[in-house]
A and B are shown apart, each in its own frame.
Chain A
Amino acid sequence: MRLWITAALAACLSGPAAAETIVIGVNGMVCAFCVNGIETTFKKQPEVETVTVDLDAKTVSVVTRQDMTLDDAAIARLIAEAGYTPVAVCRDEHGRAKMGDPVCKPVATAS
């Protein structure tokens, strides 16, 4: 009985999962006219709320919609479809990750 009440309470309090901020390190981003393809490609995805490109940091930050995420394989595919090479994907709950942080994982690519 006690276990059942605890489980019910946890379910009521948890609510929907928060949106996720994913920071992606990308090689080859040197021209805003060309890199625009990354923004366009990600914006077409139903999971994506916003996309921010930072040429200085060489990163693309993606905020997903509530209850949605993008796995590393999908991210690698989308970056490749835009013509670039993903090198790392960083996920932390605050979305403040920077390249080289422990939360960043290298991305395996074919090229």
Chain B
Amino acid sequence: MRSFAFTLLLCLFSAAEGGAKPLMYTDGVLVETKNNYAENSALLTYTLTPLDAFGIRVDYMRDDEQWLTTATYSRLLKRWNAPDSQANIWATVGAGVMSGGKGDRLDRMSDDDAMGAATLGVSADWESRRWYLSYENRLVYTSDDSEFHQSARVGVAPYIGDYNGVNLWLMVQFDHRPDEDEEFAVTPFVRLYNKRLMGEIGVSSTGDILFNASVQF
């Protein structure tokens, strides 16, 4: 019930959602919500320079019923701008608080239960106007535990959209979460975007809905 309410709040408070890069243009602000079979997330990111972005991220991990709130810093490690494609490698580190949890910890969930948490992730993508490939991983470390997640995406645009039109992509996401009840998941989904707005919706092999939305300012 709590996760449903959280998802609903995410949908209400962010105009769109998606798998957008945190590094945009100087002074750009990106608001995102990401919802998949394992977690619900809300992100607010500010791009200080094309190489550096700072953000706030809140995740609710449904299996463990845990909340993770982190301040994040993303650094573009390398970008290749070619005439017909772009590729990027970037890293994101985060520091914050993990709270809540299953069993005994859930019963006595309070501020006292919060513990420090650190995150580290590396992401890479390559895209042309027709094809899309990406990979990302994330390690969440607390004094209690550590969790690792990695995912990859492949996509194709059935038509080449122009700058002012609606762009449609057919994509598949592969998730690997060794610590989850469902270790692997495959999620076919549709991505739509038009300038400032991006939305993604699909259904995973676990029967859960993927819903991502992003809006940039």
Question: What residues make up the interface of A, taking CB atoms closer than 8 Å to B?
Answer: 26-41, 53-56, 58, 80-85, 87, 111
Contacts and interface: CB of A to CB of B under 8 A. Distances in A.
B26 interface: yes
Contacts of B26: 41, 81-82
A31 B28 CA distance: 16
A65 to B, nearest CB: 21
18 contacts: A31-B167, A32-B163, A33-B20, A33-B216, A34-B21, A34-B24, A36-B216, A39-B195, A41-B25, A53-B163, A55-B129, A55-B162, A81-B25, A81-B26, A81-B49, A81-B50, A83-B24, A83-B50
A85 B195 contact: no
User: Looking at chain B's contact residues, is the secondary structure mostly helix, strand, loop, or mixed?
Assistant: loop
Contacts, number: 85
B193 A80 contact: no
Given A37-B216, A41-B25, A81-B50, 13 more contacts: A28-B81, A28-B82, A29-B86, A31-B193, A32-B163, A32-B194, A32-B195, A33-B198, A34-B20, A35-B163, A36-B195, A53-B163, A82-B50
Contacts of B214: 33
B129 A30 contact: yes
B194 to A, nearest CB: 7
A22 B138 CA distance: 43
Nearest to A109: B81
The listed residue with most A CB atoms (<10 A of its CB), out of B26, B79, B162, is B26
B162 A56 contact: yes
A39 B196 CA distance: 11
Residues of B in contact with A, size category: 35 or more
B84 interface: yes
A34 B194 CA distance: 10
B46 to A, nearest CB: 13
A36 to B, nearest CB: 5
B166 to A, nearest CB: 9
Interface string B46-60: 000110000000000
A54 B28 contact: no
